């Protein structure tokens, strides 16, 4: 049993060990250093930055906006459902809108706000508005092609009207073709497609009549064999000039004697006779009031459609070309030698459109893949056209029409120029094109801001009245 002395000595020994340990440290080891306060502060700041960044990213991805922002006038899109809405005025109602083009007509080209559906659900909705049948989008201004349209036909009356970026069909100056339009099971009308004497006026169509009448004339013109069977729509792409008949020369019925003086030896000449100035070699038709100067082409036509003899020589004879025949060819055209004939539309703002005859179309322009008699229209993806639709010879005016990449035409209604402005076309000057060049496109509804503000109405689906 330990004595009191033993207990005192043990306590003293334990105390000496404890003191030695505090004074001497860890034998052969390293003292534990105290933690620096700066490290704690820096770590806390880093964690705070991460939390703030995460919250911001979550807000962006969530698409949430404060009501004071996304309920301002503009377009709103549901993040989850993709539904589209518009707010038209400050503090106005939230309207479901039928399609993007209706929204563009109302708001313009503004950036839509993507909002969580739960925020939209918290708002009272007004009535749905928009244009039934309006497209999902319109061509960008840089992709509008309002000139150099082509319409190509095969000899079997298959035709393709195409709007694209770079047409390859090449004009064939001085060449002509004979177009045969079937108007019944056994009836057909022949036309000549040839250049005007005034090159800037382009090509015209000249009626020849039935084959029994046209045959001898085509032989005299050297155009036998240059025939294409074409549709009525295709031949109407060319402006009409006076027919190649005797009536186009403006002569009266019968053969009265001339009542004006043309020189010695002309007393027996009658209206409708031919005369020649031997000095110039020019040939004249003796009209009811004065001699009419004939071109090589009109002289050949008159000789074929009239029972007339050789011209009488009259020195000093003069006269002017008949105004009604100004758009007849001046010289004899050569037959078109091509597998396809193409009408090429050239249009510039402020100038009358003109149509040329062309050949060698690209695959997109060609009608060769179509069945005989089939008519088709196409627009290159992403492209379209914005034009005024009028008549041949119009330099300005007409009804504004938009053609989209789906080959559908839409009349732009409402306040003049407003729809075009909302589509971003304010700086685009549309040319005037003949209505014959737009009739082949499908009809869409009229696009206007007024129509976009109303409830959708299927009755306005097709309104190509412009």
Which of 269, 294, 325 is the endpoint of a domain?
325
Domain check: are 377 and 235 in the same one?
A: yes
Domain check: are 431 and 359 in the same one?
A: yes
- From the list 322, 350, 392, 419, the residue with the least C-alpha distance to 108 is 419
pLDDT tens digits along 40-60: 445 555 544 454 444 444 444
Least confident of 1-10, 94-103, 343-352, 417-426: 1-10
Domain check: are 194 and 294 in the same one?
A: no
Give a yes or no: residue 337 inside a domain. yes
Domain check: are 449 and 309 in the same one?
A: no
Domain check: are 363 and 226 in the same one?
A: yes
Per-residue pLDDT, 337: 92
249, 255, 259, 261: CA torsion to nearest 10: 70
Give a yes or no: residue 96 inside a domain. yes
pLDDT tens digits along 277-309: 999 999 999 999 999 999 999 999 999 999 888
Question: What backbone phi and psi angles, to 5 degrees, belong to 117?
Answer: -60, -30
Q: State the DSSP code for 15.
A: H
Per-residue pLDDT, 47: 47
Domain check: are 266 and 315 in the same one?
A: yes
Section 57-70 average pLDDT: 51
Give a yes or no: residue 175 inside a domain. yes
Per-residue pLDDT, 52: 44
Give a yes or no: residue 452 inside a domain. yes
Contacts of 245 (CB under 8 A, 6+ apart): 207, 209, 305
pLDDT band at 459 (very low <50, low <70, confident <90, very high): confident
Give a yes or no: residue 54 inside a domain. no
Number of C-beta neighbours around residue 136 at 10 A: 9
Domain check: are 410 and 433 in the same one?
A: yes
Domain check: are 361 and 430 in the same one?
A: yes
CATH (domain of 297): 2.40.50
pLDDT tens digits along 394-437: 999 999 999 999 999 999 999 999 999 999 999 999 999 999 99
More confident residue, 459 or 351: 351
Q: In DSSP terms, which residues pair with 178 in a beta bridge?
A: 192, 227
Q: How big is the chain, counted in residues?
A: 466
Using an 8 Å Cβ cutoff, are 344 and 167 in contact? yes
- From the list 264, 324, 314, 268, the residue with the least C-alpha distance to 291 is 314
Using an 8 Å Cβ cutoff, are 442 and 354 in contact? no
pLDDT band at 29 (very low <50, low <70, confident <90, very high): very low
Considering the chain, what is the average pLDDT of its residues? 87
Domain check: are 234 and 256 in the same one?
A: no
Give a yes or no: residue 399 inside a domain. yes
Per-residue pLDDT, 185: 80
Domains identified in the chain, total number: 3
Q: Is 450 exposed, middle or buried (0-12, 13-18, 19+ CB in 10 A)?
A: middle
Domain check: are 408 and 454 in the same one?
A: yes
pLDDT tens digits along 162-194: 999 999 999 999 999 999 999 878 899 999 999
Least confident of 73-77, 181-185, 187-191, 363-367: 181-185
Q: Which domain holds residue 301?
A: 246-325
Coil vs helix vs strand at 329: coil
Contacts of 215 (CB under 8 A, 6+ apart): none
Domain check: are 416 and 435 in the same one?
A: yes
Least confident of 6-10, 243-247, 438-442: 6-10
Per-residue pLDDT, 184: 78
Give a yes or no: residue 133 inside a domain. no
Domain check: are 174 and 292 in the same one?
A: no
What's the whole-model pTM score?
A: 0.82
Give a yes or no: residue 35 inside a domain. no
């Amino acid at each position: 049993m330990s004595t009191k002395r033993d207990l005192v000595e043990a306590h003293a020994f334990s105390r000496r060990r404890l003191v030695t340990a505090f004074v001497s440290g860890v034998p052969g080891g390293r003292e534990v250093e105290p933690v620096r306060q700066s490290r704690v502060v820096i770590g806390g700041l880093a964690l705070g930055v991460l939390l703030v960044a995460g919250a911001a990213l979550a807000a962006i991805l969530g698409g949430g906006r404060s009501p004071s922002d996304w309920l301002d006038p503009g377009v709103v899109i549901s993040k989850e459902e993709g539904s589209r809405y518009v707010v038209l005025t400050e503090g106005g109602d939230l309207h479901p809108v039928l399609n993007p083009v209706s929204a563009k007509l109302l708001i313009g080209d503004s950036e839509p706000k993507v909002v969580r559906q739960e925020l939209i659900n918290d708002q009272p909705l007004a009535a749905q508005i928009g244009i039934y049948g309006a497209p999902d989008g319109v061509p960008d201004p840089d992709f509008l092609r309002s000139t150099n349209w082509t319409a190509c036909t095969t000899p079997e009356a298959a035709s393709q009207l195409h709007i694209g970026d770079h047409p390859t069909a090449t004009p064939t100056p001085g060449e002509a073709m004979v177009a045969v339009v079937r108007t019944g099971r056994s009836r057909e009308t022949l036309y000549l497609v040839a250049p005007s004497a005034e090159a800037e006026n382009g090509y015209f169509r000249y009626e020849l009549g039935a084959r029994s009448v046209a045959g001898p004339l085509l032989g005299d013109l050297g155009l036998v064999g240059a025939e294409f069977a074409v549709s009525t729509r295709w031949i109407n792409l060319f402006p009409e000039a006076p027919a190649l008949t005797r009536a186009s020369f403006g002569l009266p019925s019968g053969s009265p004697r001339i009542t004006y003086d043309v020189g010695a030896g002309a007393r027996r000449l009658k209206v409708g006779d031919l005369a020649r100035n031997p000095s110039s070699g020019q040939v004249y038709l003796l009209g009811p009031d004065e001699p009419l100067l004939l071109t090589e082409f009109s002289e050949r036509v008159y000789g074929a459609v009239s029972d007339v003899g050789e011209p009488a020589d009259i020195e000093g004879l003069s006269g002017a070309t008949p105004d009604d025949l100004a758009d007849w060819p001046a010289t004899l055209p050569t037959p078109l030698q091509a597998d396809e004939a193409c009408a090429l539309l050239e249009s510039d703002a402020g100038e009358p459109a003109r149509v040329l005859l062309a050949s060698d179309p690209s695959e997109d322009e060609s009608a060769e893949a179509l069945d005989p008699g089939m008519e088709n229209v196409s627009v290159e993806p992403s492209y379209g056209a914005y034009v005024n639709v009028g008549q041949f010879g119009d330099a300005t005016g007409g009804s504004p029409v938009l053609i989209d990449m789906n080959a559908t035409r839409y009349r732009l209604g409402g306040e003049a120029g407003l729809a075009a402005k909302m589509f971003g076309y304010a700086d685009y000057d549309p040319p005037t094109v003949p209505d014959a060049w737009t009739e082949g496109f499908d009809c869409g509804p009229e696009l206007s801001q007024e129509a976009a503000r109303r409830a959708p109405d299927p009755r306005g689906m097709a309104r190509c009245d412009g």
